[in-house]
Structure 1
Amino acid sequence: MIKLKLSAIPDDRPVKITAELPATVHRDLVAYAELLGRETGQTVSNPAKLIAPMLARFMMTDRAFSRARRDTKSR
């Protein structure tokens, strides 16, 4: 069994942004969506919906970002 960093995607009110991705990143995103669908049993019809949870997970696990954010809040 593959241990992916993402789990089921929560239904949340989105903020629309536009971003351009390199073709290789898009292909990887589609592949990740397929793997996630097999792993969770939840079909990901639009791989772009993975971008927000991936960014959130990335920022949550970035220690330098967490430290800087904590330092900013304590001022």
Structure 2
Amino acid sequence: VLDFLVARYGEFVLLKPRFERQTVLLWLLAPLLLISGGLALWLQIRRRARSGADLPAPPLTPEEEARLPP
């Protein structure tokens, strides 16, 4: 059955296709996506830390406190 499926549809139907020139993309795509996602997450965290987005807001001035509704 497996030989028939491979002959008809190619190595892509197998759970673990043989590592060949035609199946390199199947083997390398998952690690490349994982690495690129980790890199994107790391860059986003680094960019957010540099911009100071995680810093607390400065305290209100007396004029700003006076404008607040009771």
Confirm or deny a common fold (TM above 0.5): no
TM-score (norm 2): 0.28
Name the one with the larger helix percent: 2
Q: Which has the higher contact order (CA 8 A, sep 6+)?
A: 1
Higher Cα Rg, which structure: 2
TM-score (norm 1): 0.27
